[in-house]
Amino acid sequence: MKLSLRSSALATATVAGLLVLTACGKKDEQQNAPAAASTAPAAAATAPAHAATAPVVPAATTTAAAAPAAQPTAPAAPAAASESLKVESVTLGNAVGNDKKVAKAKTTFTPNEKTIYASVATDGTSAGATLNAKWTFQDGETATTVSDISQSISTDGPAVTTFKVQNPNEWPEGKYKVVVSLNGQAVGNESFEVKKK
């Protein structure tokens, strides 16, 4: 019984090999048929049920069936290209307008200015990027984090995102810095100073 199943699988593989060669237009190369048959039994030995019951598919159909498998990789390129957001500028000030832009850019603030804004101008397209603003106080060699704020943005073109830090008391005099990151990578920074007039 095992011998007849193996003989049947070998015969099926041989016929399949001949059909494939015929479909490719290689009728004259009959010496290649045994090579196809000799490799097919190894496949039949690992999966005998498939070799005995699998339908014979012409090579042209096999090529057409392989094409849809390649299609899912094509939309991946536009998806990667659609995430092309970049930070154009970071502007500091003590007030913003309805357009979220800093009304008057400045890099020096007084200790009693309660709120400091950073307007981050971006351009490009994103379905959900993360902008982060990390505000630090520069005390000599060390930097102390004042605030670390993230916002998720979705845009298709130029946009402005506003960050702010507030202090109900007076700001300590000294040098400060805000570093803006896009999806975890630093893309801009702005230094500023707090001092009495």
Tell me which of 4-13, 54-63, 140-149, 168-177 is least confident: 54-63
Sheet holding 142-156, edge to edge: 108-109, 185-194, 174-182, 125-139, 142-156
CATH match for 83-194 among 3.30.70.20, 3.30.1660.40, 2.60.40.10, 3.30.2350.10: 2.60.40.10
**Structural element, H or E, at residue 107:** none
Q: What average pLDDT is seen over the chain? A: 71
Q: What is the pLDDT of residue 165?
A: 96
Q: What is the pLDDT of residue 191?
A: 95
* Average pLDDT of the segment spanning 163-173: 94
pLDDT single digits (tens) 181-192: 999 999 999 999
Q: What is the pLDDT of residue 59?
A: 36
Q: Is the pLDDT of residue 169 over 80?
A: yes
Q: Is the pLDDT of residue 123 over 90?
A: yes
**Structural element, H or E, at residue 167:** none
Give how far Cα 32 sits from Cα of 36, 39, 159, 196, Å. Answer: 7, 11, 65, 91
- In angstroms, the CA 35 to CA 145 distance is 71
Task: Report the range out of 63-67, 75-79, 115-119 with the highest average pLDDT.
Answer: 115-119
For tokens 């805000």, the residue is 178
For the chain, give every domain's residue range.
Answer: 2-74, 83-194
Global pTM value? 0.58
Report the percentage of the chain scoring pLDDT > 70. 58
pLDDT single digits (tens) 42-52: 333 333 333 33
Sheet holding 86-93, edge to edge: 86-93, 115-123, 159-166
- In angstroms, the CA 81 to CA 67 distance is 23
Are the CB atoms for 79 and 90 separated by under 8 Å? Answer: no
Q: Is 169 exposed, middle or buried (0-12, 13-18, 19+ CB in 10 A)?
A: exposed
Report the percentage of the chain scoring pLDDT > 90. 51
* Average pLDDT of the segment spanning 79-105: 84
Q: Is the pLDDT of residue 135 over 80?
A: yes
Q: What is the pLDDT of residue 139?
A: 83
Q: Is the pLDDT of residue 83 over 80?
A: no
pLDDT single digits (tens) 142-155: 889 999 999 999 99
- In angstroms, the CA 101 to CA 119 distance is 6
